[in-house]
Chain A
Amino acid sequence: MIFGQRNTPWLTSSWLIALALLAPVLVMLFTSIGNFGELFAHLWQTVLPTYISNTLLLTLYVSLLVLVFGVPSAFFISQTQLIGTNWLRWALLLPLAMPAYLVAYLYTDLFDYAGPVQRLLRAWFGWQSPTDYWFFDLRTLEGAAVVLALVLYPYVYMLTRTALEQQDTSLLRAGRTLGLSARQTLTKIALPLARPAIMVAVTLVMMETIADFATVQYFAVNTLTTAIYDTWLGYGDMAAANALASVLLLFVLFTVVAEQKSRAGQRHQSNRPNMSSDKISLSFSQQVMGLVFCWSLVLLGFALPFALLVSMAIEYAQLEQLGKLAEIGWETLKISAYAATAAVLISLSLALLHRFYPKKLNHLPLQISGFGYAVPGTVLAMALMATFGPIDHWLNDTATWLNWSKPGLMLSGTTFAIIFAFVVRFAAIANGTISAGIGKIPHSIDKAPASLGVGLLATIKRVHLPMLKSSILVAWLLVFVEAMKELPAVLLLRPFNFETLSTFIYQLISDEQLEQGAIGAIFIVLFGLIPIIWLNKNKQ
């Protein structure tokens, strides 16, 4: 406690923010109480066990795959002299710009029986019908896992790479001096040190997987999210749907707690980030392996689907769409930027509070503000309406009572609700990234300015924020890109005449005519690239 025992305004505002973000989740839990009734029993006896096992399996597969994709690629880029690292470094991030449901659609088109790949195979081998040969079916649980992992692995890649690059070189050198081989240094020192960052990334991926709706729906894989939709939209039973969502939330809680337990007590910090040039040199075959591995990820996660989109756009060019698309694109960029900014400011405030006042209780706001991540967009949207609705009603009633003109649905009926939903959904991403960044700043630094008589705010501004610059940027960009791709919450909360790129594209995908919206889909990917390019530029 260098700056006094407590900082009441900061503490209070942190709790208020965290509770505001948690409010929709609380509303959801509250309405679910006592609703594990007859419908729940029916679901349990019929389809629920399959939904649950699908959810668990999908999460497991995706987690394993992102580790297999993300960790080795981060290792190649940060630790070895792989040829063309400067290109790969950011090319590996490109899949982040691809919405998973888009990749799902494009790959089904490509690999279906009537798609070009199977047509070509049939022409080559003279096969006549589906019974003549075996070909993998993409519309399965495994297919969904591969598609999700291809667009989600950049989380693991990015956070692992950053962690490896910022490791204390002296530790690694010490390992080498003590006779460890390059591989042993990696497995015994570097990777264990990077584990917290890797775990944060995997947790994000798990939550993203649990909440996915569009991809699993397209692949006809029924998960808990499907069950929530069915119960709410089919049976019209919001309370039972909330009960199911609460079960989902338990999964998340478990994931979050497990993640935090796994890195409890670890304090990893470095005064000397790994800026050195002593990267591992690779043999010829290792070079080939590394290049094939990394470029395959770029190709499958980005280049191929993007090329398919471009070819569709050329074939079905509808240039008269451009004006409308530019308008939709601008709106999308704006609300995503607002959400990213708000999420980052909130995360910074909460994470720094815990840093300077490291009581267990002060860690809670940070933790609970991230719960919204795994709440499926639809459920969150409903919860937000239930939360904002009464406030809106109260505002209108008050205005009427005061003889003012009615303000209308200021919170639930405008883009405010959408931005709020984005912040609730994606605060966890900002929290994870910024906390990891703060964790890396040595605690000794906190004390130095105080001993020189510099105040808390000045310390944060002059010492911590500059050191956190890259974490802040990464957090902002991740939230931005995710917000741009978010679909279900926007579908439900959008005000009149409001469209985002993702709702525009989804509309066409669900009608099997993405061709008509290929240009729009290219827009979403290109906008998604802006932050990635920017990220890259700022790194160098």
Chain B
Amino acid sequence: MIKKIIGLTAFAATLVAPVFSASADEVNVYSYRQPFLVEPLFNEFTKESGIKVNVVFAKKGMAERLAREGEHSPADVLLTTDISRLIELQEKGLLQAVNSDVLETAIPSQFQADDNTWFGLTTRVRNIYTAKRLGDMAINYEDLADEKYRGKICTRSGKHPYNVALVSSMIAQHGEAKTLAWLEGVKKNLARKPQGNDRGQVQAIHQGLCDVSLGNSYYFGKMLNDDKQKVWADAVNINFPNQANRGAHVNISGVGVAKYAPNKVAAKALLEFLASDKAQQMYAETNMEYPVRAGVKKSELVASWGEFKSDDLPLETIAKHRKAALKLLDQAKFDL
């Protein structure tokens, strides 16, 4: 028994090994973004600056975790995939202002927080994919509720942040009552219960299960570059909706510095790197996203989809309608 206790204590001691704290040449990142995308960027940053990047891929519950950790949090930099997450962090007071001329100049003002707590890095469009068999067409988000698409539409869960942001923008445009009616119309048109991710919907169009789906633009590029998924992408056209009116709904991926960041200097360096020409070029090339920095070229593939008009609704407005959007989705029983 005594042996066991000694053994237990010994193993307990080995557990509490790496506790992260302040250090001049390290920076700690909480990331919603996926490893395959950000790891090349971080490696490049380490090569240039000599600063080591430690990452937690904390897709869910980042804000909660930060809030609980409070002033002892080891986190320096927070990377997110949509505006609502940034606003959530900002509203909960988990971010600090970063004053940097480099960031101010590199990033257009509509993609920065007024109080400098967050910065957009890339923009992503919510596209409508249509089966090639439907031919070339102009389409609006509103059309998705049109009876002519009965049983033809596929989408991922309505509760996914990308769809919630789209519904929020519909509320901003049409008000809650009309948006609810729209959601109910779209639900009636669904070919199957909302499921899978954006790629899965294009796959379903390829399979002939549906004709129309919602999806972010970069997935199109990703699929075209994947041997197995290329056939899916080849079955659809990518459409930028609402070109004749307000423009396509656009979201951002972005970054902020944690309020209690122990490595503030390194954190600022990382942010400036992510807004640099080189990193923005990597975003464009590896993830087929639209870089926010002016003058950075889109990837050739992305450029081939053509220019488009985007909705200039302020991102804060989208974030503001988020809870209302969630409630409407529940009311329409969109996912059930």
A binding-site residues for B, Cβ under 8 Å: 42-43, 46-47, 50, 112-114, 129-130, 139, 218-220, 222, 229-230, 232-236, 238, 338, 341-342, 345, 378, 381-382, 385-386, 389, 392-393, 396, 406-410, 412-416, 419, 457, 491-492, 494-499, 503, 507, 510-513, 515
Q: Is there an interface contact between B56 and A496, defined as CB atoms closer than 8 Å?
A: yes
Minimum CB distance partner of A42 in chain B? B327
Minimum CB distance partner of A385 in chain B? B68
Minimum CB distance partner of B65 in chain A? A385
B binding-site residues for A, Cβ under 8 Å: 1, 4, 8, 11-12, 15-21, 28, 34-35, 54-61, 63-65, 68-70, 72-74, 88, 157, 159, 164, 192-197, 199-200, 203, 206-209, 226, 228-229, 323, 326-327, 330-331, 333, 335-336
Q: Is there an interface contact between B60 and A378, defined as CB atoms closer than 8 Å?
A: yes
Minimum CB distance partner of B325 in chain A? A234
Q: Is there an interface contact between A491 and B59, defined as CB atoms closer than 8 Å?
A: yes
Complex interface: chain A residues within 8 A of B197 (CB): 510-512
User: What 7 A-B pairs have minimum CB-CB distances, sorted nearest first?
Assistant: A408-B19, A220-B195, A496-B54, A46-B330, A389-B68, A113-B207, A114-B207
Question: Within the assembled complex, what's the spacing in Å between the Cα atoms of A112 and B203?
Answer: 11
Q: Is there an interface contact between B1 and A235, defined as CB atoms closer than 8 Å?
A: no
Complex interface: chain A residues within 8 A of B58 (CB): 491-492, 494
Q: Is there an interface contact between A378 and B21, defined as CB atoms closer than 8 Å?
A: no
A42 with B330, Cβ < 8 A, contacts A234-B164, A238-B64, A414-B17 known: yes
Partner of B335, one of A220, A408, A503, A515: A220
A sample of 26 inter-chain contacts (CB < 8 A) reads: A42-B330, A47-B330, A220-B194, A222-B336, A229-B60, A234-B159, A338-B11, A385-B68, A385-B69, A386-B68, A389-B68, A389-B69, A389-B70, A408-B20, A409-B72, A409-B74, A413-B20, A413-B69, A416-B16, A492-B61, A495-B20, A495-B56, A496-B20, A496-B56, A497-B55, A512-B197
Partner of B333, one of A50, A129, A503: A50
Question: Within the assembled complex, what's the spacing in Å between the Cα atoms of A230 and B323?
Answer: 11
Question: Within the assembled complex, what's the spacing in Å between the Cα atoms of A416 and B17?
Answer: 10
Complex interface: chain B residues within 8 A of A515 (CB): 228
Complex interface: chain A residues within 8 A of B207 (CB): 112-114, 130
Q: Is there an interface contact between A46 and B331, defined as CB atoms closer than 8 Å?
A: yes
Complex interface: chain A residues within 8 A of B199 (CB): 511-512
Q: Is there an interface contact between A130 and B209, defined as CB atoms closer than 8 Å?
A: yes
Q: Is there an interface contact between B74 and A46, defined as CB atoms closer than 8 Å?
A: no
Q: Is there an interface contact between B88 and A236, defined as CB atoms closer than 8 Å?
A: yes
Minimum CB distance partner of A48 in chain B? B330
| 7 new A-B contacts at CB < 8 Å, known A233-B60, A414-B15 | A232-B61, A234-B159, A342-B8, A381-B61, A409-B19, A491-B59, A507-B34
**Closest-CB distance, B161 to chain A (whole angstroms):** 9
**Closest-CB distance, B235 to chain A (whole angstroms):** 11
Question: Within the assembled complex, what's the spacing in Å between the Cα atoms of A385 and B72?
Answer: 13
Q: Is there an interface contact between A496 and B68, defined as CB atoms closer than 8 Å?
A: no
Q: Is there an interface contact between A230 and B159, defined as CB atoms closer than 8 Å?
A: yes
Question: Within the assembled complex, what's the spacing in Å between the Cα atoms of A406 and B19?
Answer: 10
Minimum CB distance partner of A497 in chain B? B54
Question: Within the assembled complex, what's the spacing in Å between the Cα atoms of A511 and B57?
Answer: 14
Partner of A233, one of B55, B61, B192, B193: B61
